[in-house]
Structure 1
Amino acid sequence: MSIPHKPFVLLLLLSLLLLMHLFFSSTPSSPRTTAVATSTAAIRMRPGFRSYDDYIKRQLNKTLDPRLRRLWATRDWDRKVRVFARFFADLAAEGLVSNFSAALCVGARMGQEVAALRSIGVVGAVGMDLAPAPPLVVAGDFHAQPFPDDSFDFEFSNVFDHALYPERFAAEVERTLRPGGVAVLHVAVHRRGDKYSANDLLGGVDGLLGLFKRSDLVRVRKVDGFGLDTEVVLRKKKKNSHK
């Protein structure tokens, strides 16, 4: 009986180990289980989404629910428009949005936020959601906004918790904001989002702020915004900024 030479066996084992290393290192980590962490806080991704198509279907289950759409367009409409208008009036008083702003509401559903902006004089306001709601809301995915670079002076969203890829959400806001433009996010820090949420902020807004690499923090304050408790205001850096 012949015995294989030791160098051949060793070479075979090393080859197998190399193949295993290449396989596992090239397999991307799932965004459903990877936390985006900073020194003091993190964004925890929720499990349960088998694919991006599965995620989109679940979001559309809520957005296209006939009962909810009737509620958003009727009894819920005036109440939300009034509350959003108060938030936006405060921002206008601080000079963060004006009547001349090109404004986008990200994840606007039926468009209450858009109607609120228009009610205080921001006539160049439009909304975006997976399902359009003409004439206030056009179709679009916040992971890949359907707008050119530097399109808006102001962007508002209260659906950050619905982002399956938070880093893409932030990058798209920064891409479509003009230099010096303002982004306002309403998020849940001390409350848990609904069953359609894809992520949760842990311990604070640091994990969120770490995603906005081209923006400076203006301020953070507490709000009472339909289950969301914190307002984050950011300003996109100007192109000649060296900060």
Structure 2
Amino acid sequence: MHADMKIALTKPFILRCFLVSLFLSLPFLLLHLLSPQQQPRHSVTTNDLRIRPGYSSYEAYIQRQLNKTLNPKLRKIWTTRDWNRKISVFASFFEELKEKKLLDNTSKALCIGARVGQEVEALRRIGVVDSVGMDLVPYPPLVVKGDFHNQPFGNDTFDFEFSNVFDHALYPQQFVAEIERTLRPNGVCVLHVALSRRADKYSANDLYSVQPLIELFKHSSLLHVRSVDGFGLDTEVAFRKKLEPPHHL
């Protein structure tokens, strides 16, 4: 058989092998692409809200956050030297919100990114006893395990949600969407954010005005913006989730 004929016969065989291989690998490729952790999430980058680069994957982002949360030196500080000091400051913030009728003792409250739960303990000490925190690492009985990009709670669960870790959200739109999903209609969300300084090396975004927050809270109304001194955070922004429109028969 001539060499040219051998080559001509070999080409279809190679092509068939390639197609069979592609067909067999297609399900695994689709599974990889469609897995939840590979799905592209909604992200927002504007002049006043910038996502920090450098995360090769969502797993890499989570691991970096865990590096802070599980840092033994930090956890020791949070549970000893800083414990009562932070509870006192959080309690004063929450008392002011009670005076503004944005929080009361009957509120079911969630603290997002609560670490070891000083803000939860502060809420309980001022009478808001139905309070719980959420973080990547649980700290029973004050803090349960959860990712703020995908809260482990049902729709319309809480009357009040508080967070001072907005800057740690890699996907701010998803962070806010989960708050609005789990917040009851007429419920209140209060965020403490930094507008004038960039301090935390673990932050995933930088916020330069409240305008991006107003745009992200699509189902809520802005209640107030005020200056605070909250452990490196300088601004308090409060929203109220809008009431659901009446259902027409």
TM-score, with structure 1 as normaliser: 0.83
**Where in structure 1 do 4 or more consecutive aligned residues deviate above 6 Å?**
none
Corresponding residue to 1:133 among 139, 146, 150: 139
**Percentage identity across paired residues of the two chains:** 64
Give the secondary-structure state (helix, strand or coil) at the position aligned to 1:164.
Answer: coil
Corresponding residue to 2:201 among 181, 192, 195: 195
Aligned to 1:235: 240
The one-character-per-residue Cα deviations of 1:206-233 (angstroms, maximum 9, x if unpaired) are 0111100000000000000000000000
The one-character-per-residue Cα deviations of 1:183-210 (angstroms, maximum 9, x if unpaired) are 00000001114000000012x1101111
Corresponding residue to 1:115 among 121, 125, 129: 121
Corresponding residue to 2:45 among 27, 33, 36: 36
Report 1:6-155 matches (<5 A). 35-37=44-46, 42-155=48-161
Give the secondary-structure state (helix, strand or coil) at the position aligned to 2:82.
Answer: helix
Looking at structure 1, the residues matched to 45 and 212 of structure 2 have their Cα atoms a distance apart, in angstroms, of 7
Looking at structure 2, the residues matched to 178 and 45 of structure 1 have their Cα atoms a distance apart, in angstroms, of 29
RMSD: 1.8
Give the secondary-structure state (helix, strand or coil) at the position aligned to 1:79.
Answer: helix
Aligned to 1:164: 170
Aligned to 2:3: none
| Aligned-pair CA distance for 1:35 | 4.7
Residue 118 of structure 2 aligns to which amino acid in structure 1? Q
Residue 110 of structure 2 aligns to which amino acid in structure 1? L
Looking at structure 1, the residues matched to 203 and 55 of structure 2 have their Cα atoms a distance apart, in angstroms, of 11
**Is 1:185 aligned to 2:191, yes or no?**
yes
Aligned to 2:33: none
| Aligned-pair CA distance for 1:74 | 0.6
| Aligned-pair CA distance for 1:68 | 0.7
Corresponding residue to 2:182 among 156, 159, 176: 176
The answer to whether the 8 A contact 1:31-1:45 is kept is no
Aligned to 2:5: none
* Bigger Cα Rg: 2
Looking at structure 2, the residues matched to 132 and 31 of structure 1 have their Cα atoms a distance apart, in angstroms, of 25
Q: Which runs of 5+ in 1 are unaligned?
A: 1-27
| Aligned-pair CA distance for 1:42 | 2.3
Q: Which runs of 5+ in 2 are unaligned?
A: 1-37
State the number of aligned residues: 209
The answer to whether the 8 A contact 2:170-2:204 is kept is yes
TM-score, with structure 2 as normaliser: 0.81
